[in-house]
Amino acid sequence: MNPPVDRRSFLKTSAAAGLVLAASSSRVVAAAGGKVTLAFVGCAHIHTPGFINLLKTRPDVSVKYVWDPLPARAHKRGADLNAKVAGNISEIWGDPAVQAVVICSETNRHPALVKAAAAAKKHMFVEKPLGITAGESVAMAKAIEGAGLLFTTGYFMRTDPKHLFLREQVAAGAFGKITRASAWNCHSGSIGGWFDEKPNDPSESWRWMADVAQSGVGGFGDLGTHSLDILMWILGGIESVSADVRVVTGRYGPKTDETGQSMIKFKSGVMGSLAAGWLDVANPVTFMISGTEGFASIVNDKLYFQSKKFPAAKGTEPWTQLPPAPRAPLHQFVDAVAGDTAQPLVKPSEAATRVAVMEAMYKSARQGRWTKVRG
């Protein structure tokens, strides 16, 4: 397991991160003239408790409503936030006091919710992935952009200083001509039963995430989308992919994949690979990039870097000259709603493109051949 990026560690550390960032974030909102008023639209995602903990550290945020189709879940999260449980979602869309919504619903509900939020002119934080298919994701992105709304999603790996440093060095040419790159994102979710039913407390059940009818993907797509985002954020667009996606234990049925790997052809000519899933008892190596003048890897959350352009970078000791960590994505979103135009939000089109690539990977696995990425 990779502690810095796996879900359990994210949920444990999010409240602490919120305490550090709350004061500076509050100043942003104060300068803009008051609190940011939000609503939770869907509370199904496993990150929902972590997001609630983040927002509870911010006196500059008011969560006015919580809505979820499952009453037990809605009331649990409403109590957590001291917010009104909306009996009808139209209460949220029709309330001008609500500036933005946090959509943490099942992925198959995203298209209807995003379309309604766009029509109601509500800024949106939408948990990843944006949609199940490329087509619906592109349509959502166009609706958000067409309405002129702020948007971001939960690609929190972009806030890791090691990834930021690598992105900067790729742009600066420190690796020379890049030839290959790989990313891994794995945990033991299927082995440990993270997505099992919890009949005694359905509000804490994440079973839908292992039901492809609701989530669209199993373990490979669920975790792979994070590392895919980092690969594309650093190396650019993807031309075609080849993948092998598998069910291994069958714990969540014959249709829910638990692990997979993909080969990637980037538009730049770089060769890449991606591995992700819920079956790993350890995940010490999470990233690698190689070029004609440099090499880097992230092992046990430490960056090892060497480059001909950095005489001190020998690759034998952890590289610690890193940029500061940005705020968590949800903090960035709230600050942007408050008026901070400098926040590095994920674009709707970026989120849609990640879905298109993942869709191509699953198609390749079914057909057993290289598949071009749509769009």
The pLDDT value given to residue 2 = 36
**pLDDT tens string 87-100:** 999 999 999 999 99
Which residues 6+ apart lie within 8 Å of 303 measured at CB? Answer: 162, 165, 166, 296, 297, 318, 319, 322
Rounded CA-CA distance 41/51 in Å is: 13
Rounded CA-CA distance 49/81 in Å is: 10
Burial class (CB within 10 angstroms; exposed 0-12, middle 13-18, buried 19+) of 363: middle
Extract the tokens encoding 169: 């060095």
Rounded CA-CA distance 272/349 in Å is: 22
**pLDDT tens string 180-218:** 999 999 999 999 999 999 888 888 899 999 999 999 999
List the domains of the chain with CATH numbers: 7-154 (3.40.50.720), 157-324+347-372 (3.30.360.10)
Q: Is the pTM of this model over 0.85?
A: yes
Which strand (E) or helix (H) includes residue 161? Answer: helix 161-172
Rounded CA-CA distance 161/325 in Å is: 5
Rounded CA-CA distance 212/195 in Å is: 12
Residues forming a β-bridge with 273: 182, 263
The pLDDT value given to residue 22 = 42
Which residues 6+ apart lie within 8 Å of 235 measured at CB? Answer: 170, 178, 181, 266, 268, 270, 272
**pLDDT tens string 229-287:** 999 999 999 999 999 999 999 999 999 999 999 999 999 999 999 999 999 999 999 99
Q: What is the mean pLDDT of the chain?
A: 92
Long-range contacts of the stretch 136-142 (C-beta < 8 A, 24+): 136/110, 136/111, 137/351, 137/352, 137/355, 137/356, 138/352, 138/356, 138/375, 139/111, 140/110, 140/111, 140/114, 140/115, 140/348, 140/352, 141/347, 141/348, 141/349, 141/351, 141/352, 142/348
The pLDDT value given to residue 222 = 98
Would you give per-residue pLDDT tens digits along the chain (375 residues)?
333 344 444 444 443 444 334 444 444 443 345 799 999 999 999 999 999 999 999 999 999 999 999 999 999 999 999 999 999 999 999 999 999 999 999 999 999 999 999 999 999 999 999 999 999 999 999 999 999 999 999 999 999 999 999 999 999 999 999 999 999 999 999 999 999 998 888 888 999 999 999 999 999 999 999 999 999 999 999 999 999 999 999 999 999 999 999 999 999 999 999 999 999 999 999 999 999 999 999 999 999 999 999 999 999 999 999 999 999 999 999 999 999 999 999 999 999 999 999 999 999 999 999 999 987
Extract the tokens encoding 248: 């291994």
DSSP for 290-350?
A: EESSEEEEEETTEEEEEETTEEEEESSS-----PPPPPPHHHHHHHHHTT-TT--PPPHHH
